Amino acid sequence: MPYITKQNQVITADRNWLVSKQYDARWSPSERTRLKEIASRYKVKWSGNTRHIPWNSLLERVDIIPNSMVATMAAAESGWGTSKLARVNNNLFGMKCGGGNCRGAVKGYSQFDSVEESVQAYVRNLNTHPAYSSFRKSRAQLRKADQEVTASTMIHKLKGYSTKGQAITTISSRCIRITSG
């Protein structure tokens, strides 16, 4: 879980910075650059005008994925790390590649140089891909209601997540319940 924790720490730092800047009227060049980089990384369109920053979109996307949810999904998708996709491509989540730029031994699936890179890609995918918009909206609603974002509440929000269908979220949900006590 160190890779998941590390990724969530990066996200938390970006999110905290965004929240701290939300009501600022003045922006230094370095702050504008940082905001532009965050918006780009999270695929949020922004004109560059600090008077028209898409705060809702940014804060909906720049948010953590619960550690136990990421770990459970990795275990479920990769057969506890034993699948060929996990062993050969470092792909713990069954992420497909697009645009014909696939490399690696398992055709049609993304290959990563490390497990850490796989975790980063997974978290980025959940935070940016249009298919997970309802997941992000649900998380934002929890934040707005000042409720904790937990694996057990969020796992059910993954609609259309896996080619394995609803079974993968059901299995993952059971694993989360068991490990949570």
At residue 179 the predicted structure's pLDDT band, cuts being 50, 70 and 90, is low
* Beta bridge partners of residue 109, listed in sequence order: 96
Contact between 4 and 119 (Cβ < 8 Å)? yes
* Domain definitions of the chain by residue range: 2-59, 67-180
> Is 96 in a helix, a strand, or coil?
strand
Report the sign of the C-alpha dihedral through residues 103, 61, 180, 176, in that order.
negative
Given a cut of 90, whether residue 173 has pLDDT beyond it is: no
Given a cut of 70, whether residue 169 has pLDDT beyond it is: no
- Name the pTM for this structure: 0.86
Element (DSSP H or E) covering residue 37: helix 29-41
CATH number of the 67-180 domain: 1.10.530.10
* Beta bridge partners of residue 96, listed in sequence order: 109
Determine the average pLDDT of the residues in 118-125: 96
Determine the average pLDDT of the residues in 121-134: 95
**Closest alpha carbon to 60 in 145, 133, 2:** 133
